[in-house]
C-alpha cells in the first residue's frame, strides 16, 4: 500500500501520530481544546470532515476474513473491511448457524400463512455510523445512483411521524398523554443521574435509584414501553440512554422524534446490504455451527489459530493464518426463540438451569473461559425471567380490529403513510401490552387488503385482565381476546379471530443486554492483547453508546475493523447533542411539563432581543415580574445547587 501515500512520505515518516490513532475516542473524558499537538478532530466532531477514506498500512490480498454471524454487526464489519480496509470481498467469509442472514433483524412470511417480525426498530437521525453505511448501499426500490438513505429520507421527509393515541385505557379510550407527571424530586433525580460518573453505577438497578413516584409516572411509562426497560434493568444503561437521546426527549410522549422505514427491518436494511456484499463477492456459509476458537495466549498477546466448526454433521477446524482476521458476534438477543400460533402457545424449552447453551452464548462462554478479557456472559443469559418478553405479529384482513385501529391512526392504515406513529400502550393492562401498526404494506408484495400489526408486553408473569393466564401460556387467539377486551371490542372477537393470523415469539434473552452489569462484564471490541480477533454486537463495551440499536451494532463493527487494521481513521463518538445548551434547556422544560424551569425568566430577560434568544425553548412571553425577581431566582438557584450536591 506504500504507493498510495508515497508523495506524503516525508510528512508521514516525521509524524508522531501516523499509525497511532485512537480509533475509539471518548467524548465523556475529553476536554475539547485546540493545541499545537491536536491534529485529529475532537472525539464527537461529526460531519463531512470525518468522511475521509481509511488508508491501510498493509495490503490484504492474501488475508482471509472470517465473520461469525451474519447479523447487521457482521455485515457492517464486512462493509468496512472492503471500503476502508481495501480487503478483497472474495476473501471475506460469513459463518452463519442459521439458514438465512440478518440475525435478529428478521422479517418473513406471506399473507396466506401469516407474516412474522420478532421486533422492530425505532430509528433516530443521529445514527452516524448506520447512515455512513447506508448512504452508499443501493436503494431497494429507487434506481441508481440512489441509496437506502435516500429512500429513507424521501419517505420520512414527506410523511412526519407522530402518535395521536400514545396511551389508551378503560376499554380503548384515548388517555391524556401530554404530561410526564414528574414530581420535582424525580426531575432532580434525573439531573443527578446525568451528573453521576458511569463507574459509580456498576450493578445498580433502576429501582435501586428511583422512587416509586418516578416508576409510576407517565414519563416512565413512555420510556419503558418505547425502549423495553424493566425496573430491574441496569441504571447505567438508562443513564447512557438519557444522554444518547436527550435531544429527543420532547418527542417522547407523542413519538414525533422518531423516523421509521417504509418496510420491515429485514427488507429495508438486510436485503439491500446483503445484495451489495454478495455482488462484491463476499461468501456466506449457512448452517455452520461455531463452537469455539483455538486461541493461543502467551506474553506476546492473544492470537486466533483456528475456528472450530460443524457443518452438515462434519466437524472441522478452519486454520487461521498470521495475516487473517476473525470477527465474532458474542451472545444473541433472539437465540432460543420459541414460537406459537393461533391455536398453540409457545412451548418454552429452557429455564435458568439450561439457558445460555445455544451456539452464540456457548461460543462466548468458551472464549470467556480462556481469559477474563472476554467478559462474563453468565451475567446476561442466566436469569431469563428478567430478560424475556413475548412479541406477537398479527396478519389482519378487514375486521372489527382494523376498524378500531382506524380510530387511533394518524392516517388511513391503507394509505401507505404513518399509521399509529409507533406503539400504543394500554396503561390498565396487567401485561402492560402495547401494539403498533407501521406504514403499510410492511412487506414488499403484501396484498392491498392486508395489514401487519405488532404487539408486545412487558409484564408476562402476570395474569391477563380478561384471559386469566400469564402471556406465554396463551394461544394466539387468547392474546387476541385480551387485546380485543382492552380495545372494547370483545363482543366482536369471533370476527377478529376469523380474519387474523397470529404468530407469537417468546424470546428468553431479548433484553439481556439491559441486565445490571459492571466494568469487565462485557469485553472490549478488540479485547486487550488480541491481535486478530474483534468482537461485535450488543454485548461488547463501547465508551458512550447504548445497546439495542442498529447503530451500536454498526459502531462495534467499525471499531473492530479500524482497530485490527490500525487504519488512520477514528470512529466518532456519539452525536454531541447532549452538550448543546438548546437541548439541555429544552429537556429541563420538557421534564417540567412545559412549565418554566428554574431561572428561565432570568434567561429570557437577558437574551431577549439578542442573537441568542432562539436557544431558549418555545414558550409564552413572561408576564410582568415583581421587583424581587432576580433575588428570588438567585436564592432558588443556590437551593438547587445544594440539592444536587446533597
Q: Which residues does 450 contact at the CB level (< 8 Å), separation at least 6?
A: 111, 395, 396, 397, 441
Predicted pLDDT of residue 2: 65
Predicted pLDDT of residue 122: 82
Q: How confident is the model at residue 633 (pLDDT cuts 50, 70, 90)?
A: low
In this structure, the strands spanning 65-68 and 325-329 are parallel
C-alpha dihedral over 345, 346, 352, 354, to 10 degrees?
140
DSSP-derived secondary structure letter, 597:
P
Q: Please indicate whether residue 241 is annotated as part of the active site.
A: yes
Give the pTM: 0.94
Nearest residue to 454 via CA among 432, 418, 424 = 424
- C-beta atoms surrounding 512 within 10 Å: 28
Predicted pLDDT of residue 1: 57
Can you read off the three cell numbers belonging to residue 344?
398453540
Predicted pLDDT of residue 641: 67
Predicted pLDDT of residue 16: 85
- Asked whether the domain spanning 141-165+389-507 has the same topology as the one spanning 8-103+267-380+516-565, the reply is no
Percent of the chain's residues with pLDDT above 90: 89
Q: How confident is the model at residue 464 (pLDDT cuts 50, 70, 90)?
A: very high
Predicted pLDDT of residue 42: 95
Q: How confident is the model at residue 623 (pLDDT cuts 50, 70, 90)?
A: very low
Question: Which single residue is written with the C-alpha cell 481509511?
Answer: 54
The whole-angstrom distance between residue 274's C-alpha and the CA centroid of its chain comes to 20
CATH architecture of 141-165+389-507: 2-Layer Sandwich (3.30)
Three-state helix/strand/coil letters over 90-128: HHEEEECCCCCCCCCCCCEEECCCEEECCCCCCECCCCH
Domain ranges within the chain, ordered by starting residue: 8-103+267-380+516-565, 141-165+389-507, 178-245, 596-645
Q: Which residues does 57 contact at the CB level (< 8 Å), separation at least 6?
A: 1, 19, 565, 566, 567, 568
**Bridge partners, 370 (sequence order):** none
Predicted pLDDT of residue 630: 56
Give me the catalytic one of 122, 335, 478, 541: 122
Predicted pLDDT of residue 81: 97
| pLDDT tens track for 568-594 | 999 999 999 999 999 999 999 999 999
| pLDDT tens track for 133-150 | 999 999 999 999 999 999
Give me the catalytic one of 80, 152, 241, 263: 241
Bond from prior residue into 145 cis (ω within 30 degrees of 0): yes
The whole-angstrom distance between residue 2's C-alpha and the CA centroid of its chain comes to 39
pLDDT tops 70 at residue 171: yes
pLDDT tops 60 at residue 449: yes
Which stretches within 211-320 are classed as H helix? 212-215, 218-227, 235-244, 265, 271-280
Three-state helix/strand/coil letters over 249-267: HHHCCCCCCCECCCCCHHH
| pLDDT tens track for 67-94 | 999 999 999 999 999 999 999 999 999 9
Can you read off the three cell numbers belonging to residue 321?
493464518
User: What integer is the mean pLDDT of 201-222?
Assistant: 98
Predicted pLDDT of residue 563: 97
Can you read off the three cell numbers belonging to residue 520?
469487565
DSSP-derived secondary structure letter, 204:
-
Predicted pLDDT of residue 215: 98
Predicted pLDDT of residue 626: 42
Q: Kind and range of the H or E element at 380?
A: helix 378-381
Cα angle for residues 264, 380, 23 (degrees, 5° grid):
75
Predicted pLDDT of residue 627: 40
User: What integer is the mean pLDDT of 234-255?
Assistant: 97
Assign domain 8-103+267-380+516-565 to a CATH class. alpha beta
pLDDT tops 70 at residue 249: yes
Bond from prior residue into 76 cis (ω within 30 degrees of 0): no
Percent of the chain's residues with pLDDT above 70: 96
The whole-angstrom distance between residue 115's C-alpha and the CA centroid of its chain comes to 23
DSSP-derived secondary structure letter, 611:
T
User: To 10 degrees, what angle do helices 629-645 and 600-607 make?
Assistant: 130
| pLDDT tens track for 527-581 | 999 999 999 999 999 999 999 999 999 999 999 999 999 999 999 999 999 999 9
Predicted pLDDT of residue 634: 66
CA distance to 66, 447, 472, 498, 533, per residue, from 495 (Å) = 51, 20, 24, 5, 55
- 628-642 burial: b if 16+ Cβ within 10 Å, else e: eeeeebeeeeeebee
Predicted pLDDT of residue 120: 85
| pLDDT tens track for 498-516 | 999 999 999 999 999 999 9
Helix, strand, or coil here: 582? helix
User: What integer is the mean pLDDT of 426-431?
Assistant: 98
Predicted pLDDT of residue 313: 86
| pLDDT tens track for 127-137 | 999 999 999 99
State the greatest distance between any 2 C-alpha atoms of the chain, in Å, as a whole number: 85
Amino acid at each position: 500500500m506504500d504507493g498510495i501515500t508515497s508523495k506524503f512520505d516525508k510528512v508521514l515518516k516525521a509524524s508522531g501520530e501516523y499509525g497511532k490513532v485512537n480509533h475509539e475516542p471518548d467524548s465523556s473524558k475529553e476536554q475539547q481544546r485546540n493545541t499545537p499537538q491536536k491534529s485529529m478532530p475532537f472525539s464527537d466532531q461529526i460531519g463531512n470532515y470525518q468522511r475521509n477514506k481509511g488508508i491501510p498500512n498493509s495490503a490484504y490480498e492474501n488475508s482471509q476474513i472470517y465473520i461469525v454471524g451474519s447479523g447487521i454487526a457482521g455485515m457492517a464489519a464486512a462493509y468496512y473491511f472492503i471500503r476502508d480496509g481495501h480487503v478483497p470481498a472474495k476473501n471475506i467469509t460469513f459463518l452463519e448457524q442459521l439458514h438465512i442472514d440478518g440475525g435478529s433483524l428478521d422479517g418473513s412470511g406471506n399473507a396466506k400463512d401469516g407474516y412474522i417480525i420478532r421486533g422492530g426498530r425505532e430509528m433516530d437521525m443521529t445514527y452516524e455510523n448506520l447512515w455512513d453505511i447506508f448512504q452508499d448501499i443501493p436503494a431497494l426500490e429507487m434506481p441508481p445512483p440512489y441509496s437506502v438513505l435516500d429512500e429513507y429520507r424521501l419517505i420520512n421527509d414527506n410523511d412526519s411521524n407522530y402518535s395521536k393515541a400514545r396511551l389508551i385505557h378503560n376499554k380503548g379510550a384515548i388517555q391524556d398523554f401530554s404530561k410526564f407527571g414528574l414530581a420535582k424530586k424525580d426531575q432532580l433525580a434525573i439531573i443527578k443521574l446525568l451528573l453521576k460518573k458511569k463507574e459509580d453505577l456498576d450493578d445498580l438497578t433502576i429501582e435501586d435509584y428511583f422512587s416509586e413516584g418516578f416508576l409510576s409516572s407517565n414519563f416512565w411509562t413512555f420510556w419503558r414501553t418505547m425502549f423495553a426497560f424493566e425496573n430491574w434493568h441496569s441504571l447505567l444503561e438508562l443513564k447512557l440512554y438519557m444522554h444518547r437521546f436527550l435531544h429527543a426527549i420532547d418527542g417522547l410522549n407523542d413519538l414525533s422524534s422518531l423516523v421509521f422505514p417504509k418496510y420491515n427491518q429485514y427488507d429495508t436494511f438486510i436485503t439491500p446490504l446483503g445484495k451489495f456484499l454478495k455482488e462484491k463477492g463476499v461468501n456466506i456459509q449457512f448452517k455452520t455451527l461455531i463452537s469455539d476458537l483455538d486461541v493461543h495466549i502467551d506474553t506476546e498477546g492473544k492470537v486466533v489459530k483456528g475456528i472450530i466448526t460443524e457443518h452438515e454433521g462434519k466437524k472441522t477446524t478452519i486454520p487461521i493464518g498470521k495475516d487473517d482476521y476473525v470477527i465474532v458476534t458474542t451472545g444473541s438477543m433472539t437465540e432460543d426463540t420459541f414460537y406459537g400460533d393461533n391455536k398453540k402457545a409457545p412451548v418454552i424449552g429452557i429455564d435458568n438451569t439450561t439457558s445460555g447453551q445455544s451456539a452464540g452464548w456457548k461460543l462466548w462462554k468458551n472464549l470467556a473461559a480462556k481469559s477474563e478479557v472476554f467478559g462474563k456472559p453468565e451475567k446476561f443469559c442466566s436469569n431469563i425471567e428478567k430478560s424475556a418478553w413475548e412479541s406477537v405479529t398479527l396478519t389482519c384482513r378487514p375486521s372489527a380490529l382494523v376498524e378500531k385501529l382506524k380510530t387511533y391512526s394518524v392516517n388511513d392504515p391503507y394509505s401507505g403513510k404513518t399509521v399509529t406513529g409507533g406503539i400504543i400502550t394500554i396503561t390498565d393492562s396487567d401485561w402492560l401490552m402495547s401494539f403498533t401498526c407501521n406504514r403499510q404494506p410492511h412487506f414488499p408484495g403484501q396484498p392491498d387488503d392486508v395489514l401487519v400489526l405488532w404487539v408486545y408486553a412487558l409484564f408476562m408473569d402476570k395474569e391477563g385482565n380478561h384471559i386469566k393466564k400469564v402471556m406465554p401460556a396463551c394461544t394466539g387467539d387468547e392474546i387476541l381476546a385480551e387485546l380485543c377486551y382492552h380495545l372494547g371490542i370483545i363482543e366482536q372477537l369471533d370476527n377478529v379471530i376469523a380474519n387474523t393470523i397470529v404468530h407469537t415469539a417468546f424470546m428468553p434473552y431479548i433484553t439481556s443486554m439491559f441486565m445490571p452489569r459492571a466494568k469487565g462484564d462485557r469485553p472490549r471490541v478488540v479485547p486487550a492483547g488480541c491481535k486478530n480477533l474483534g468482537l461485535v454486537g450488543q454485548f461488547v463495551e463501547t465508551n458512550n453508546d447504548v445497546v439495542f440499536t442498529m447503530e451500536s451494532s454498526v459502531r462495534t463493527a467499525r471499531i473492530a475493523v479500524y482497530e485490527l487494521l490500525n487504519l488512520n481513521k477514528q470512529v466518532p463518538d456519539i452525536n454531541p447533542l447532549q452538550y448543546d445548551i438548546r437541548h439541555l434547556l429544552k429537556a429541563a422544560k420538557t421534564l417540567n411539563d412545559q412549565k418554566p424551569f428554574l431561572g428561565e425568566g432570568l434567561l429570557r430577560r437577558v437574551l431577549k432581543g439578542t442573537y441568542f434568544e432562539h436557544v431558549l425553548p418555545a414558550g409564552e412571553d413572561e408576564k410582568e415580574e415583581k421587583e424581587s425577581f432576580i433575588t428570588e431566582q438567585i436564592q432558588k438557584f443556590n437551593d438547587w445547587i445544594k440539592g444536587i450536591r446533597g
